[in-house]
Amino acid sequence: MAEATSNNKTSTRPQKIIAGADSFGCALKDTLVSHLRSLNIDVEDLGTSSYYSIAAEVGRRVSSANSSDTRGLVACGTGVGVSIFANKFPGVFAATCLTPDDALNARSINNSNVLAVSGTSTSPDSAIEILNSWLDTPFKSPCPASGSKPWPEDILSFLDNSLSEIPKIGSESQSDPDSTATCAICCLVKNRELNPIDLIPGGSMKILRESPTSAIVRFKAGSVEPAHHHTFGHDLVVLEGKKSVWNLTKKEKYDLVVGDYLFTPAGDVHRVKYYEDTEFFIKWDGKWDMFFDEDLEAAKTAIEKELDSGSS
């Protein structure tokens, strides 16, 4: 589609788009990135990775920017998976849009700042039309949901209030006496429940501080972390158990037991094996993220081969 020339439309467009996709959405993402650049919009293309890793990275960067001038674009097979993981970051409102009407409604009602598209069900021409609608639609503007008419005053008031009310959802209740506790160690003693790490079987984690992120992490005996890397370096101290860390970037192996400390620099690819139920404290230099460089089965095979060769 031709670039919109209306000053009003142009003024609603972000100055920068952070884009990424998985292998099923890569071709469509590349088409949309080219279109964005033809509109003189700055694009930071993060390339291709697993749908959850790339969407999380786009979401993290949009969240960190915390500006209406920076939005995100993510693509996978359905457009749903990338939307789920981009939305895990504060201030990110990712919407899967399969039609231009979806995009109009998402911008008008939800103030969407990350567009998620389907690489398997949306043609390039349709995707460009969806993207243009999403770029050129201001928050609270007329849209299909409003009958393409201006919203009435009570709805406008509701939409305005939503901007301050939505961020409160999921936060601790102010009526909870424990919500005033600020000491991470005190909180940990009161509640040792850890949340499962969905990406790695056998792992669980309790975030103690958001940014820079610190956490208590626990893995069951026999668990394996596939080779992965982080945007930020991290320090860890083993509190109980036994583990080995293979730093594949440096070609070094570290056997860690209770009390041992290890620092892994940003970007270093490493895999981990847990021999016992293990718990450790970890602190990243920035926000937590995780980018996998192999799958779980490949990691298990590599570790078994390494351990077998060491015992022979």
**What are 195's strand-pairing partners?**
205
pTM over 0.75: no
What is the CATH code of the structural domain delimited by 7-163?
A: 3.40.1400.10
Fold adopted by 179-311: Jelly Rolls (2.60.120)
Q: What is the pLDDT of residues 271-300, one digit of tens each?
A: 999 999 999 999 988 877 888 899 999 999
Alpha-helical (H) ranges within 75-200 are 80-86, 100-110, 124-136, 153-165, 184-190
Residue 116 to residue 82: CA distance in whole angstroms: 7
How many whole angstroms from its chain centre is CA 63?
Answer: 9
Residue type, 60: R
- If we measure between CA atoms, which residue out of 245, 269, 271 comes closest to residue 257? 245
pLDDT attached to residue 207: 83
Residue ranges per domain, the chain?
7-163, 179-311
Catalytic status, residue 143: no
pLDDT attached to residue 8: 47
Do residues 238 and 280 make contact, with C-beta atoms less than 8 angstroms apart? Answer: yes
Residue 12 to residue 190: CA distance in whole angstroms: 48
- If we measure between CA atoms, which residue out of 292, 233, 296, 238 comes closest to residue 266? 233
pLDDT attached to residue 117: 97
pLDDT attached to residue 71: 96
pLDDT attached to residue 11: 61
Active-site residue, selected from the candidate residues 26, 76, 97, 143 = 76
pLDDT attached to residue 184: 45
pLDDT attached to residue 198: 64
Residues of the chain with pLDDT under 70: 1-11, 170-199, 310-312
